[in-house]
């Protein structure tokens, strides 16, 4: 009898399911297509939960806040065929990102799941999505230039290793093309690319045409198109930054490219308005704008090692408005900004970089005196020409009336030729400086 009981007990143990199950469970109380409210559970913000009974109908949502004793969540996936009082179970603690060499050459979504068809990612490390808090004294100075292969940027707006730069422009002016030129030519150990809130077609095109060949092998791409959940778009931006931080901690020189910072702010606006925050300028709640410095400040150089994150963010100026809240906020935080001008693009000048309002705040710290003087000379000639452009085109200016204007008119073809560059052309930093100093090295006018 005892032997039979023992055998039955052992058989029961063998067939039992000992998989860990969430000890906390709640119920879905409200869902309006965007915001979910659950009762019966208490979870920290950032926790991902599974909602629903059947596996094929289950959806994932992230905790984004609390209200009147209810847990507020937002859907991370697509359509959610949910029923009232559907069970809500946490899937784990607030997020971490997969990081490390195992990520090189891979494309993942905002949840970290590979979407490139190359199978699961094995051997990756872990890093907090929100990053690790650093003291300001742990940040190093920008001391060395970074070669990005674009003549106008290398020569006139020199970027340093560990600098944060914004590319600011309206739609259709050439931001993505300029980013592609930098990705192909940048002298960085690792390139992390966050394609946040862009069209799905542009994501596929960027991967096939701009992240190809040798650049693909040292790149990590986080792609979250515009049709994804706003929470997932923000997670994508955090994930790309976390991956870059982990490589910086290993001593790598990382180039972080995020297209676009404005789409991240749009996602923050959707979430803030859903939570009932009051809208301020252009409909942005305070939390959407406050999120930007938290994201941008994670990039930079490491004072105690050789690692650095050089970050380039595209900032979409809605309606070509340079005073857009996102543009204005980003400009005040970043270490420089590159402005693309629609009028230059219409005249066939590509990349359409408007040198006048563009600035690199660290350029004087990382370039030599002849280089800096030549750049100032070109800027002076260009500013003088633009101020008197209408007079010159109407024929109202008489040659010899002003030596500075005469010099600007004489130099203008050389200035435009220096700015122009084919999308598939790479101009190394030393060549760009040599050409600039050779033509504009002696101050004129």
Q: What is the DSSP string of 401-412?
A: S-HHHHHHHHHH
Whether domain 96-361 has CATH 3.40.50.12240: yes
Q: In the prediction, which pLDDT does 22 show?
A: 46
Please give the Cα distance from 166 to 322 (Å, whole number): 13
pLDDT of 9 > 60? The answer is: no
pLDDT of 207 > 50? The answer is: yes
Instruction: Return the CATH fold of 370-440.
Output: Substrate Binding Domain Of Dnak; Chain:A; Domain 2 (1.20.1270)
Q: How confident is the model at residue 20 (pLDDT cuts 50, 70, 90)?
A: very low
**φ and ψ at 340, to 5 degrees?**
-100, 135
Domain ranges of the chain: 26-90, 96-361, 370-440
| Pair of tokens at residue 13 | 């143990």
Residue 1 Cα distances to 7, 38, 314, angstroms: 10, 50, 76
Share of the chain above pLDDT 70, in %: 93
Can you point out the beta strands (E) in 76-188?
87-90, 96-99, 107-108, 125-128, 139-140, 164-169
CA 44 from centre of chain: 26
Share of the chain above pLDDT 90, in %: 58
Residue 188: strand, helix, or coil:
coil
DSSP for 52-95, please give it: -SSGGG-EEEEEEEEETTEEEEEE-SS-----TT-EEEE-SSSP
> What is the per-residue pLDDT across 63-85, written as a single tens digit (0 to 9) for each?
989 989 999 999 887 777 788 89
Q: What is the pTM of this model?
A: 0.88
Q: What angle do CA 35, 41, 45 make, to 5 degrees?
A: 55
Of 140 and 220, more confident: 220
Of 4 and 231, more confident: 231
Length of the chain: 445
The mean pLDDT of 371-383, rounded to a whole number, is 96
| Pair of tokens at residue 416 | 């435009």
Q: In the prediction, which pLDDT does 10 show?
A: 47
Q: In the prediction, which pLDDT does 444 show?
A: 44
| Pair of tokens at residue 157 | 């707006």
Alpha helices in 186-260 (DSSP H): 200-209, 214-217, 230-249
Instruction: Return the CATH fold of 26-90.
Output: Thrombin, subunit H (2.40.10)
The mean pLDDT of 163-173, rounded to a whole number, is 91
The mean pLDDT of 118-137, rounded to a whole number, is 88
């Amino acid at each position: 009898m005892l032997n039979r009981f023992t055998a039955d007990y052992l058989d029961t143990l063998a067939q039992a399911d000992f998989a860990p199950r969430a000890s906390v469970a709640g119920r879905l109380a409200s869902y309006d297509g965007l915001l979910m409210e659950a009762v019966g559970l208490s979870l920290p913000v950032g926790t991902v939960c599974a909602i629903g009974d059947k596996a094929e109908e289950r959806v994932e949502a992230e905790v984004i806040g609390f209200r009147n004793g209810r847990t507020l969540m937002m859907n991370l996936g697509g359509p959610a065929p949910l029923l009232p009082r559907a069970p809500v179970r946490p899937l784990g603690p607030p997020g971490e990102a997969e990081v490390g060499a195992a990520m090189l050459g891979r494309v993942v979504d905002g949840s970290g799941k590979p979407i490139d068809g190359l199978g699961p990612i094995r051997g990756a490390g872990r890093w907090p999505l929100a990053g690790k808090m650093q003291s300001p004294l742990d940040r190093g100075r920008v001391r060395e230039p970074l070669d990005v292969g674009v003549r106008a940027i290398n020569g006139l707006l020199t970027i340093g290793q560990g600098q944060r730069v914004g590319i600011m422009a309206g739609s259709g002016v050439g931001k993505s093309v300029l980013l592609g030129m930098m990705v192909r030519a940048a002298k960085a150990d690792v390139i992390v690319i966050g394609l946040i809130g862009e069209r799905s077609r542009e994501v596929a095109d960027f991967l096939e045409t701009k992240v190809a060949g040798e650049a693909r092998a040292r790149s990590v791409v986080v792609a979250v198109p515009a049709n994804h959940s706003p929470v997932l778009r923000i997670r994508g931006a955090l994930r790309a930054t976390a991956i870059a931080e982990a490589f910086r901690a290993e001593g790598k020189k990382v180039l972080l490219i995020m297209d676009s910072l404005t789409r991240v702010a749009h996602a923050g606006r959707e979430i803030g308005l859903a939570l009932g925050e009051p809208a301020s300028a252009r409909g942005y709640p305070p939390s959407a704008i406050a999120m930007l410095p938290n994201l941008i400040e994670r990039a930079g150089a490491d004072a105690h090692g050789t690692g650095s994150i050089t970050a380039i963010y595209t900032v979409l100026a809605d309606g070509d408005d340079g005073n857009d809240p996102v543009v204005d906020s980003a400009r005040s935080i970043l270490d420089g900004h590159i402005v693309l001008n629609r009028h230059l693009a219409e005249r066939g000048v590509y990349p359409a970089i408007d040198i006048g309002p563009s600035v690199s705040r660290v350029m004087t710290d990382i370039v030599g005196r002849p280089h800096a003087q030549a750049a100032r000379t070109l800027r002076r000639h260009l500013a003088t020409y633009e101020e008197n452009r209408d007079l010159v085109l109407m024929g109202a200016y008489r040659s010899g009336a002003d030596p500075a204007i005469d010099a600007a008119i004489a130099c203008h073809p050389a200035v435009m030729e220096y700015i122009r560059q084919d999308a598939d052309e790479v101009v190394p930093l030393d060549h760009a400086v040599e050409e600039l100093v050779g033509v504009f090295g002696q101050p004129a006018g």
